[in-house]
Amino acid sequence: MANTPTAQEQFSGVKPVEERHRIDEAALAAWLTENVEGYEGPLTVFQFKGGQSNPTYQLVTPNRKYVLRRKPPGKLLPSAHAVDREFKVISALNKVKYPVAHAYALCTDDAVIGTMFYVMENVDGRILWDLALPDSSPEQRRAIYEAKVKTLAALHNVDYQAVGLADFGRPGNYFSRQIDRWTKQYKASETESIESMNRLMEWLPRTVPDDDLTTIVHGDYRLDNMILHPTESRVIAVLDWELSTLGNPLADFTYFMMQWVMPGTERSGLADLDLPSLGIPSLEEVVALYCQETKRPGLPAADWYFAYNLFRLGAICQGIVGRVRDGTANSPQATSMAARVQPLGDNAWKFALKAGA
């Protein structure tokens, strides 16, 4: 019997472009010649294996590699797949040398390859998928986790107005607006009634904590959305800015914290692992480091934030289920998302009960 591929094997690297995501390579090459400084063909196009949302391509030329991210073809949810927003935030962060790929150009003309897209630098390094970091030593694991925390804190410390992102979102009421957004997306994609999700949609808006600090937020900050240096334990590029906006930094940080309470059976979970022997910092150490880096006096009770984050993940998974239903999902893994929604909702409700629901 064949071994089941690891997440690392399943999602890493490139493959030939899927038939449904084929693009007019000649039209693209002509556009690149006009719009990307220093571009020289001939052009070879591959598709990255990872990611389910925006089809992502590797563009290979004799002198340089590039990455292209595009809106998927077909029927889309309102406001989803905003690659123009990704391009805007990456371009802004280039100004302060935050670790992101260099953004080259945005194409809003659907006539070129069928949908809007942008082109950025191809950053060479390591994208890792297993939170246990099996190929690292305990010292390297600790250094990588500390680098992840410091890189997130550095994002939250960026002056968003100074880099030209004052209009990138609305300051204040972030959690209320997010709950409303994900509730609408969940309902638009709903395929069955789930009691815990229904309860959360009623309880969360009534119990939002008071904390209205506004920063740039990434929206999906996790290990496999970053590129690590090929040999050093540091982050050289944060990827996948599709959900970024102006918002409450605790949304980003508590989403990152979820790894410590999710079971190890989940790809995104650490809860069952022996963290001290692995060298991975405890949740308390991570909170202390983040608060130190952002000069925050401390973090209030986390259970509400855990309930919110699990609800949001449930809504995201349901959105993928809706895209399968509508024929626009971009991954064979997408069909497995339906089975995740109820457990996420049920787990979220357990944290809601701890938080006083």
Q: What is the pLDDT of residues 228-282, one digit of tens each?
A: 999 999 999 999 898 899 999 999 999 999 999 988 766 678 999 999 999 999 9
**Nearest partner of 36 among 16, 17, 61, judged by Cα:** 61
Nearest Cα to Cα of residue 258 among 215, 220, 208, 315: 220
Q: Which of 255, 302, 251, 275 is nearest to 141 (CA)?
A: 275
Q: Which two tokens stand for residue 22?
A: 């084929």
Instruction: Among 55, 87, 121, give the residue marking a domain's end.
Output: 121
Q: Which residue has the tokens 């709950």?
A: 179
Would residue 126 count as lying in a domain?
Answer: no
Bin 27: left if φ > 0, else alpha if -120 < ψ < 50, else beta.
alpha
Separation of alpha carbons 32 and 43, rounded Å: 10
Say yes or no to pLDDT of 227 above 90. Answer: yes
Residues 189 and 90 in one domain: no
- Same domain for 59 and 143: no
334 and 205 housed in the same domain: yes
Are the C-beta atoms of 76 and 328 separated by less than 8 Å?
Answer: yes
Q: Does residue 167 sit within a domain? A: yes
DSSP string, 24-89: -HHHHHHHHHHHSTT-----EEEEESS-SSS-EEEEE-SS-EEEEEEPPSS---TT-S-HHHHHHH
Instruction: Tell me the CATH number at 97.
Output: 3.30.200.20
How confident is the model over 167-177, as pLDDT tens digits?
999 988 999 99
pTM: 0.86
The answer, yes or no, to whether residue 1 has pLDDT greater than 50, is no
- pLDDT digit string (tens) for 38-49? 999 999 999 998
Domain boundary among 121, 154, 188: 121
Between CA 169 and CA 215 the distance in angstroms is 10
pLDDT above 80: residue 9: no
Residues 112 and 181 grouped into a single domain: no
Same domain as 170, residue 109: no
pLDDT for the residue 333: 67
> Which among 95-109, 251-265, 334-348 has the top mean pLDDT?
95-109
If we measure between CA atoms, which residue out of 183, 166, 167 comes closest to residue 175? 183
Say whether both 114 and 204 belong to one domain.
Answer: no
Q: Residue 114 is part of which domain span? A: 7-121
- Looking up residue 255, the CATH number of its domain turns out to be 3.90.1200.10
Classify residue 267: in a domain, yes or no.
Answer: yes
Please check whether residue 128 lies inside any domain of the structure. Answer: no
Residue 329 has pLDDT above 70, yes or no: no
277 and 338, same domain (yes or no): yes
- The residues with which 67 forms a beta bridge, in sequence order, are 58, 120
Mean pLDDT of the 339-346 span: 92
Q: Specify the number of domains making up the chain.
A: 2
Shared domain for 267 and 293, answered yes or no, is yes
- Per-residue pLDDT band for 210 (boundaries 50, 70, 90) equals confident
In this structure, the answer to whether residues 194 and 116 fall within a common structural domain is no
- In this structure, the answer to whether residues 106 and 24 fall within a common structural domain is yes
Distance CA 309, CA 315 (A): 10
Looking at the domain assignment, is residue 324 inside a domain?
Answer: yes
Q: Decide if 335 is inside a domain.
A: yes
Q: Mean per-residue pLDDT for 293-307?
A: 91
157 and 289 co-located in one domain: yes
Q: Are residues 290 and 142 in the same domain?
A: yes
Using left for φ > 0, alpha for ψ between -120 and 50, and beta otherwise, residue 4 falls in beta
* pLDDT over 70, % of the chain: 91
Is 130 domain-assigned?
Answer: no
